[in-house]
Amino acid sequence: MGRGGELVGRTVRGIYHEMQQHYLSFRLLVWLKEHGITRKVNFLISHKISHELKEDSADERQKSREYFAAQKERAERVLSLLADEKSVNVWKEAVGYRTMGRSIGREYYSEEDQYFVKDIICLKDGEVFVDGGSYTGDTIQQFMDTARREKVRFKQIIGFEPDRENYGLVNKFYGKKKNILLIPKGLSDMKKMLCFSGEGATFGACESAGSIGGGVKIPVINIDAVPACRNATFIKMDIEGAEMDALKGARMTIQTNYPKLAICIYHSDEDMLRIIEYIHELVPEYRLYVRHHSKSNVETVLYAVL
């Protein structure tokens, strides 16, 4: 991306962030996202310029090709675990983009229904929704909107957001609601401090505590250690590559409650395989679906339901 593209990205991010400061404009952004209208803008906002450059990197595609070639047998087994032919095709399309830069067929992605795919996710009365990576509250609002449309009364929402600025926004809109609990922490396999690379209203990436970089240390916790999550019925995670550790930290909750899961698997090639394998290991009875929610290599989500 050249200087012009960087300037446009910063300008759009600034406008987007300013709109998130006010509830009515924030609700407009959520509505536009729910209808797939702001996907390109969300991509600019939610992914750092370095991530965008990585997306188009020939070197990264070569690494992905080598990785999936070496993991061919694992990939075949993972595909055999998926519940329908569409999931198999979607996974292959997503990997095709990662390895060859091939455009994803229009029939294999949907920009409107991320985390709430109608033929997979069915909300019920009494839902306890755990939102891993609440950002500024967009998924919390989508959950509430979906529950209202489906005439479902949810019991509680527990949102985790470690970025101070993002947490301030989500807390501003939802912090006083009695059935919403917001926790200013990230998710991992245990309670500890990690290095968090944040950039204002953008998503941050959790790295190892000993990593070198300009990030700040943040507290993280595991879902199993949070009393409010003990009765979780639906867990969503989009936490910039920390999903695998967070799933390990939710092992007891998942094996006890069998909650619906919507877990992002696009943050690495290994995640495209290992997260599916791990969820199957935890609860072999889960039906596993893969859906993709963008035109590029981001927003691939694994859904697990009974």
| pLDDT of 215 | 65
| pLDDT of 218 | 87
What integer best gives the mean pLDDT of the chain?
85
| pLDDT of 8 | 60
Cβ neighbours of residue 281 closer than 8 Å, sequence gap 6 or more:
none
User: 207 or 231: whose pLDDT is higher?
Assistant: 231
Percent of the chain with pLDDT over 90: 65
- pLDDT over threshold 60, residue 51: no
Euclidean distance between CA atoms 300 and 187, whole angstroms: 19
| pLDDT of 24 | 72
| pLDDT of 47 | 45
Q: Which domains does the chain have, with CATH numbers?
A: 1-46 (no CATH), 59-305 (3.40.50.150)
- What number of other Cβ atoms are within 10 A of residue 249's Cβ? 22
- pLDDT over threshold 80, residue 219: yes
| pLDDT of 39 | 53
pTM: 0.83
User: 138 or 203: whose pLDDT is higher?
Assistant: 138
What order do you get walking across the sheet with 192-199 strand by strand?
Answer: 186-187, 216-221, 192-199, 202-207
Query: Tell me: the pLDDT tens digits for 74-127?
Result: 999 999 999 999 999 999 999 999 999 999 999 999 988 999 999 999 999 999
- pLDDT over threshold 70, residue 145: yes
